[in-house]
Structure 1
Amino acid sequence: MPPILTTDRLILRAHTAADFPGCYTLWSDPDVTRFIGGRPSTQEEVWSRILRYVGHWEVLNYGYFLVTERQTGAVVGEFGLADFRRNVVPPFGDTPEAGWVMLPQYHGKGLAREALTAVLTWADQTMPRTVCMIHPDNAPSLKLAAKLGYTEYARGQYGEHTPILLERIVR
């Protein structure tokens, strides 16, 4: 069973079918997808994403968390770890890839750091290294990654994009 993580302001839990409306709101926001694919997701793509998240937990015992506010239950975003088998150069191999997205109205409140800290604290128990890739123009995500111990190890190639590849090693 996927864990349920809690912080002072957030609940992080596995996705369910009932989360589709909130996830669709998240992934159909052009500000959310600006650096991830560059366009809002369709309902079909969001549904496939939720199923992929469920599959991660079933097959790999890690995955993405739906993050909600403790007080209101409102969807804040998604944070987690995955193995998307990306055709990125250099390859990630079997190293879990950290990722996060958050609705714009929650930016600037420290919630992304709070959520990602909870995910990484949980992951540190079994994952000595995680990686992430971030668009070079995504300054807020690069800043968050640095605060949580990610350092650049390469400029990658992913399709037509050249993301910054970062790693975090638990010592």
Structure 2
Amino acid sequence: MMITIETERLILRPQTITDFDVWYPMYADPQIFHVTNSPGFTPEEGWNRILRNIGHWSTFGFGIFSIFQKTDGIFLGETGLANFHRGIDAGFDNCAEASWVISRAAQSRGIAKEAAEAAHQWYVDSFAPSRTVCLIVKHHPASIHVAEYLGYRIYDEYLYKGAECFKLECLWEK
């Protein structure tokens, strides 16, 4: 499935296995995941994660996009919506869950907002959901700010893999 979304500065497209070499360093960077108490991924965990993301597109028709800078093709991160099936509760797990991870070099430039907004617009136009959700670690104000920019509001708290998180939802008009 080769959907391509272009914004003023970015190109988003579904992840492919050829992204692994530029994608994995972001997921192996412990500074990216310091807020979740996660050390980052081993190569095997990263390989399994990107394979999951690729397979998600063929199963559900939506998923995680790789984000590239339009001017030079540099990889900046990932965003999209997916069915992560975390086992949180039926109200959460039965909705598409928003996600964004931006490489350290691309942070603080509005990339997450621009990319996530474009991915959400595509998803809403394509699937007309009534609700989407996301899970964000409580002490990650930058990510909470992106979620609020997109229209998400905190509705509950949840302990996920030892991290105190907020459950957020966005209600979409049909």
TM-score relative to the length of structure 1: 0.94
SS at match of 1:72: coil
Q: Distance in 2 between matches of 1:42 and 1:128?
A: 36
Question: 1:24-39 counterparts in 2 under 5 A?
Answer: 24-36=24-36, 38-39=38-39
SS at match of 1:20: helix
State percent identity of aligned pairs: 35
Q: Give the C-alpha shift of residue 120 in structure 1.
A: 0.7
Letter in 1 for 2:134: C
Q: Distance in 2 between matches of 1:36 and 1:51?
A: 22
2:154 alignment partner in structure 1:
152
Native 8 Å contact 2:156 2:168 kept in 1: yes
Q: Distance in 2 between matches of 1:116 and 1:36?
A: 20
CA distance 1:151–1:133, change in 2 (3 Å): same
1:62 alignment partner in structure 2:
62
SS at match of 1:162: strand
Q: Distance in 2 between matches of 1:2 and 1:56?
A: 13
Letter in 1 for 2:140: N
Q: Distance in 1 between matches of 2:71 and 2:115?
A: 15
Q: Distance in 2 between matches of 1:44 and 1:116?
A: 27
SS at match of 2:151: coil
2:166 alignment partner in structure 1:
164
Letter in 1 for 2:13: R
1:138 alignment partner in structure 2:
140
Native 8 Å contact 1:98 1:132 kept in 2: yes
Native 8 Å contact 2:159 2:165 kept in 1: yes
Q: Distance in 1 between matches of 2:159 and 2:90?
A: 7
Which consecutive segments of 4 or more residues in structure 1 shift more than 3 A? Answer: none
Native 8 Å contact 1:90 1:157 kept in 2: no
SS at match of 1:57: helix
Q: Which segments of 5 or more consecutive residues in structure 2 lack a partner in the other structure?
A: none
TM-score relative to the length of structure 2: 0.92
2:4 alignment partner in structure 1:
4
Q: Which segments of 5 or more consecutive residues in structure 1 lack a partner in the other structure?
A: none
Q: Give the C-alpha shift of residue 36 in structure 1.
A: 4.2
Native 8 Å contact 1:89 1:158 kept in 2: no
CA distance 1:12–1:36, change in 2 (3 Å): farther
